[in-house]
Amino acid sequence: MADDNNKNPLFIALLILAVVLLAALCFGRGISYAFLDAEQFNNLTITVTDQPNGFPVVIDYLNPEFGGEMAVDAGFNGTPILIYDGNDTPGWNPLIISGNWNLEDTAQAHTGTRSLGATNVVDGDVVQFKNGANIEDYPAVTGWIYIQEWFAQFENEVHFYAYDTVGGSTDGFQINLSDYIEINEFDVWQKFVIPIDDFNASASGDAFRIEAHSNNPSQARAPEFYIDDLQMENSSNVLRYQVIPIPGTTYYVTDIKAIFHGPMDTDRSDATVPSINVSKLFNIDPITNGILGTQTVSGQSFETTNVKSVKDFMDVPETNVVDFFNDGDKTYMTIRIEFVSPLILNADTSDTLNIDIRDDLSELGSLAITTGGYFRFNE
């Protein structure tokens, strides 16, 4: 009987699988299940005994259509719906709920001659924009912000949220706008893009509200800023890539790697190090909307970063270029971000890491982003 089993192809395949899993668990090389589709993964049963320090694993950011490839053509299309632009063009109905908002400020404008001015607001001041539209029917809200002052010592924030004017209550989550912009970029217009899903709004949300905040109890001084060309995107080709923990486990993400491969001129005749234009995204000029990264915990998104250039990658703490070479045709570069404390994703609460590609990155050649860490079985 033993000889028969040794000749059985199924027996041999199972034996090989057992050896591979044992080697991965014992020698810390990790398990990657990124090559499995949903049906294959659901039919895969692995029984192992949990270890105190967890099991090493590598999980890629994946998209259902494009897999791990992020050098794709994405973005917004269709005609956007204007919310507010300083009343250069009629949009949604503005209403000052409280505070000294300037609805037609001429000091700064992204387009036209006017914008929403918020240079004299204090903690708790609110302005509203309403037209009765069902907010959840649109893919994203976009706009431009010009920061004049942002008082970090007063823990400044600007909250953006959907509002139910009939029920008189916030609809969904309050978004912290600082998660979608660079608060240290002063006196320039910068674009923000907020996916509607991040608001968790329902069909009852018929207005947007902007609320200024200072979280320092002894100071009411809020940030000073202008907002212009606020609009709802009418249709979207934004592509979402996700890291999803193994069912029944908690994934502790210790690092993220971005791997670029494509045309880039790195030559300098007298150089001892590669020449990299950090103001570009590899070989593409700074992109408009940015690569948006979020962490979703129990349905709510936070810990957001937006990358438009190599510099934005390098500005993230504990970031290094770990691989860089040119084969005479293409340039390869790997950027690694290590976390002081791991990002924690619990499969039982549907936690994920997300990356939204919102620009045309097809000229990159190739871009893939992967995560490393360890997982433990949930009790």
Q: In this predicted model, what pLDDT tens digit does every residue of 190-222 receive, in sequence order?
A: 999 888 888 888 878 889 999 998 877 566 678
| Mean pLDDT, rounded, for 243-261 | 93
Quote the distance between the C-alpha of residue 70 and its chain's center: 13
Comparing C-alpha atoms, which of 233, 261, 241, 244 is closest to residue 364? 261
Residue 30: pLDDT over 80: no
Instruction: Determine the Cα–Cα distance for residues 99 and 161; give it in Å rounded to an integer.
Output: 17
Give me the chain's average pLDDT, please.
Answer: 82
pLDDT range class, residue 115, cuts 50, 70, 90: very high
Q: What is the pLDDT of residue 270?
A: 55
Q: Where are the domains of the chain?
A: 1-29, 31-74+238-377, 78-235
What would the pLDDT profile of 264-273 be if each residue is shown by its tens digit?
665 555 555 5
How many other CB atoms sit within 10 Å of the CB of residue 1?
Answer: 5
pLDDT range class, residue 342, cuts 50, 70, 90: very high
Residue 281: pLDDT over 90: no
What b/e sequence results for 219-238 when a residue is b if at least 16 CB atoms lie within 10 Å of its CB, and e otherwise?
eebbbbbbbbbbbbbeebeb
- Per mean pLDDT, which range of 11-20, 53-62, 130-139, 233-242 is the poorest? 11-20
Residue 3: pLDDT over 90: no
What would the pLDDT profile of 217-250 be if each residue is shown by its tens digit?
566 678 999 999 999 988 778 899 999 999 999 9
149: helix, strand or coil:
strand
Amino acid found at 356: D
Share above pLDDT 70 across residues of the chain, in percent, rounded to a whole number:
80
Quote the distance between the C-alpha of residue 235 and its chain's center: 19
Q: What is the pLDDT of residue 42?
A: 47
Q: Are 277 and 265 in contact (CB under 8 A)?
A: no
CATH of domain 78-235: 2.60.120.260
pTM of the model: 0.67
How many other CB atoms sit within 10 Å of the CB of residue 93?
Answer: 12
Q: What is the pLDDT of residue 19?
A: 42
Beta bridge partners of 325: 332
Instruction: Determine the Cα–Cα distance for residues 43 and 124; give it in Å rounded to an integer.
Output: 52
How many other CB atoms sit within 10 Å of the CB of residue 87?
Answer: 14
* Strand bridging mode 319-326 / 331-346: antiparallel
Residue 88: pLDDT over 90: yes
379: helix, strand or coil:
coil
Instruction: Determine the Cα–Cα distance for residues 350 and 352; give it in Å rounded to an integer.
Output: 6
| Mean pLDDT, rounded, for 92-109 | 96
Q: What is the pLDDT of residue 54?
A: 84
pLDDT range class, residue 17, cuts 50, 70, 90: very low
Residue 153, H or E segment: none
23: helix, strand or coil:
helix
What would the pLDDT profile of 149-171 be if each residue is shown by its tens digit?
998 766 889 999 999 999 999 99
Q: Which is more confidently placed, 23 or 131?
A: 131
Q: What is the pLDDT of residue 254?
A: 95
What would the pLDDT profile of 36-86 be if each residue is shown by its tens digit?
444 444 444 444 444 556 899 999 999 999 999 999 999 888 889 999 999
Q: What is the pLDDT of residue 33?
A: 41
Q: Read off the tokens for 12.
A: 């041999």
pLDDT range class, residue 189, cuts 50, 70, 90: very high
Q: What is the pLDDT of residue 125?
A: 95
Comparing C-alpha atoms, which of 224, 180, 230, 193 is closest to residue 209? 230
Amino acid found at 218: S
Residues in the chain: 379
